[in-house]
Amino acid sequence: MPPGEHLDGTTAECAHLHLLLACFRASPPPMRLPGVTGRPLPDVLGTEVIDADVFNTGYAIMAARYEQLGVRALLPLERVWVGTRSAARPGTARSHGGFHHPAQGYRHIQMDAAVTVFGDLTGQTPASPQAAALDLVRSYAHDCLHYATFRRYRLTDRGEIARVQYGINFRQPDGRTYSAPDIPGDGPTRNLGIVMEGATDAEATAIARQAAQSCGITGTDVEAGLPGLVFADVTGTVTADGIEAALLLDHHYARSMGRFGRTVTLRYRALLSELGVSPADAHSQIVAAMISGDLAPLDALLDARHGPGSFARMFRAPTSGAEPGLVR
């Protein structure tokens, strides 16, 4: 079992869950991105597409950081499938690879990740190996933290797998979630899925930023326009103005990057600023609770600043149906 994974129920139910999960994870993942072909991550690292020195630098930084956070293991490299070519028409959303490629990411039940090499996947204008390596560091670090986030599974009445806790969020076996979706607009997020996605990406981009610094790669080495905005996005230094500029570019990848920045990055930053402690301390408490599944320290922090029951007031949906006692 991967780190942070727990099974609930009787001995027989847990055995059944274990068997179901093992069936989903029996072999390395096939590619699941439409029209995209590629190879497992270790194979791609042996090609000229990725600067292996940059990726290995990022990997070392990542391993040290996640060990510091109490993560017992990283997502096995062979369970990460990396798309290098796309049959999509040039200029369309699926023709450009990178962190914001449609539908890529980590799957908990299958314990696998599908990512794409940053740049034009049709072979017209390949990205630099350094840029592709930094983006891959960010994608892999992001999925490793998803892999390590606390998960609790339970059997439904129909004998199916239900993930009833993921980090600091909860879900009933019937699908009702503790936290409601965000209302469109600006301001601090109130959705725990966005909170955890923002926290996960903040860690991943910090690792990519340190890798860039260690390898002597700076923003001045990057062309203006989309390449510069992407570098800022990958290294976690993108500004609100940069996000708006990305949304205005006539490029599918830029607009996808801008939408992520607006709905995840900026709203997570706004939440950290709102909590009444330093953003770094608030972020650390959120990440620690995600990995451990224990909300008590985060709960205490919020109560001390905003009064008893702050977590529920901020994040609980009126129709959540969460079990009493699941959240303090």
User: What integer best gives the mean pLDDT of the chain?
Assistant: 92
Residue 243 has pLDDT above 70, yes or no: yes
Residue 81 has pLDDT above 60, yes or no: yes
Closest CA to 172 of 314, 316, 20: 316
CA 191, CA 183: separation in Å to the nearest integer? 9
Burial degree of 157 (CB within 10 A; 0-12, 13-18, 19+):
exposed
Can you give the pTM of this predicted structure? 0.94
CA 265, CA 319: separation in Å to the nearest integer? 26
CA 161, CA 38: separation in Å to the nearest integer? 30
Supply the pLDDT for residue 180: 86
Residue 323 has pLDDT above 50, yes or no: no
Residue 173 has pLDDT above 90, yes or no: no
Q: How far is CA 57 from CA 39, 65, 72, 78, 252, in A?
A: 21, 13, 20, 19, 30
The distance in angstroms from the start CA to the end CA of the chain is: 28
Residue 90 has pLDDT above 80, yes or no: yes
* pLDDT (mean) for 8-30: 89
* pLDDT (mean) for 1-23: 92
Q: What is the pLDDT of residues 150-169, one digit of tens each?
A: 999 999 988 899 999 999 99
Q: Is 75 helix (H, G, I), strand (E, B) or coil?
A: coil
* pLDDT (mean) for 56-67: 98
CA 75, CA 113: separation in Å to the nearest integer? 9
What phi and psi values does residue 39 have, to the nearest 5 degrees? Answer: -145, 165
Contact 215, 54 (CB under 8 A): yes
| Domain residue ranges of the chain, discontinuous segments joined by + | 1-29+151-178
Confidence band, pLDDT 50/70/90 cuts, at residue 321: low
Supply the pLDDT for residue 220: 67
Confidence band, pLDDT 50/70/90 cuts, at residue 126: confident
Identify residue 14 by its one-letter amino acid code: C
Confidence band, pLDDT 50/70/90 cuts, at residue 322: low
36-40: strand order across its sheet: 36-40, 80-86, 112-116, 105-107
Closest CA to 114 of 38, 186, 166: 38
- 122 Cβ partners below 8 Å, 6+ apart? 85, 86, 88, 90, 95
Identify residue 66 by its one-letter amino acid code: Y
Supply the pLDDT for residue 276: 85
CA dihedral of residues 259, 263, 264, 269 (deg, nearest 10): 120
